[in-house]
């Protein structure tokens, strides 16, 4: 029995799948950036992209399951050639209430994708934009030279189009620049809003703080520095049992570019498939997932440490 499993047992709780409210679709690992904290290990050299056939399988599942939220991620999901087909078809499903697109922002500054924000605006897509920091030097350290300026230009353009605190939703995502937990989300959000508004006239809805997962490129980088064990210990020592009731894996299923199913995007990277018997989006039935034990491991401490962490930010603000 793993330490994480043992701690869950001590709390008297269980981690099992409930109703699937969110379908997270990873449309591929190819990306225009190679960020230091990326758990996927995405980058320009990756070739994995979800095919049109698998995308149509996702659409059929979403319709049959009555999924309310679709969370489209990558890599850079913009680089999948079938993205617009996916979004257009999703908007025809009456049960889908919210479509999220996770963007690194910099890609929307490239000529090939310059017109995409208008398409997203017309289809009422919420943009969840990764912005590691409001300080240029910190963004450069994580993402490379020139990325900060691209991000600012794109955010200003999104605001001018109507993506703002008063229009279609625009959320930002913060990942710590190293092996430490995020600051409390409300205070950091306030700082982001003040700095971006005063320096660049940028507004947005919510800041999501996400704890770095000690896997993928970030985990490998820590291991090279001899700091991986210390970071893992920090996550264990910061375990907060109150977060167990709110973790995203309870009501989310993640599908990879091949159509295989996982309890979260992190399990996808670690190749820890969901416990469902028919583990492919083509044949799985949502009702059959309810009550199935969630696949867990030591990496799960990242989601339950401190204020908690999910794809939609701190669990301390979850209801």
pLDDT of the residue at 304? 97
CATH number at residue 13: 3.20.20.70
Separation between Cα atoms, residue 3 and residue 6, nearest integer Å: 5
**Domain of 123?**
3-317
Q: Show the low-confidence residues of the chain (pLDDT under 70).
A: 1, 165, 167, 317-319
Q: pLDDT tens for residues 137-157?
A: 888 888 888 899 999 999 999
Q: Could you give the residue ranges of the DSSP H alpha helices within the chain?
A: 3-11, 52-65, 83-90, 116-122, 136-143, 147-161, 185-200, 216-225, 228-237, 265-269, 301-304
Tell me the C-alpha distance between 225 and 206, whole Å.
33
pLDDT score of 1: 63
For the chain, the domain total comes to: 1
241 CA to centre of own chain: 22
Q: Write out pLDDT tens, residues 158-178.
A: 999 999 767 689 999 999 989
pLDDT value, residue 319? 44
* Nearest-angstrom CA–CA distance, 35 and 104: 10
Q: What angle do CA 144, 30, 130 make, to 5 degrees?
A: 50
pLDDT at residue number 138: 86
Give the DSSP H or E segment for 22.
strand 22-26
């Amino acid at each position: 029995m793993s330490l994480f499993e043992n701690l869950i047992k001590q709390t008297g709780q269980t981690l099992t799948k409930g109703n699937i409210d969110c379908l997270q679709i990873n449309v591929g690992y190819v990306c225009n950036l190679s960020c230091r904290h990326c758990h996927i290990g995405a980058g320009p050299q990756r070739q994995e992209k979800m095919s049109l056939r698998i995308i149509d399988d996702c659409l059929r599942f979403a319709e049959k399951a009555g999924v309310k939220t679709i969370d489209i991620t990558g890599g850079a999901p913009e680089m999948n050639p079938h993205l617009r087909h996916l979004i257009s078809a999703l908007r025809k499903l009456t049960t889908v209430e919210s479509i999220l697109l996770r963007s690194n922002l910099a890609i929307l500054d490239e000529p090939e994708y310059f017109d995409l924000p208008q398409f997203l605006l017309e289809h009422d897509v919420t943009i969840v934009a990764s912005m590691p920091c409001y300080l240029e030097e910190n963004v450069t350290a994580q993402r490379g030279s020139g990325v900060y300026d691209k991000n600012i230009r794109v955010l200003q353009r999104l605001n001018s189009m109507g993506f703002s605190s008063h229009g279609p939703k625009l959320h930002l995502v913060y990942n710590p620049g190293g092996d430490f937990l995020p600051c409390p989300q409300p205070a950091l959000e306030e700082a982001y809003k003040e700095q971006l508004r005063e320096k660049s006239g940028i507004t947005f809805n919510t800041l999501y703080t996400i704890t770095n997962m000690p896997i993928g490129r970030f985990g490998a980088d820590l291991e090279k520095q001899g700091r991986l064990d210390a970071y893992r210990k920090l996550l264990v020592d910061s375990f907060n049992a109150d977060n167990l009731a709110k973790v995203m894996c309870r009501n989310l299923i993640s599908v990879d570019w091949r159509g295989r199913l996982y309890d979260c995007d992190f399990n996808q990277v670690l190749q820890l498939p969901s416990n469902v018997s028919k583990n492919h989006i083509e044949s799985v039935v949502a009702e059959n997932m309810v009550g199935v034990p969630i696949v867990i491991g030591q990496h799960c401490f990242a989601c339950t440490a401190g204020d908690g962490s999910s794809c939609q930010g701190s669990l301390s603000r979850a209801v």
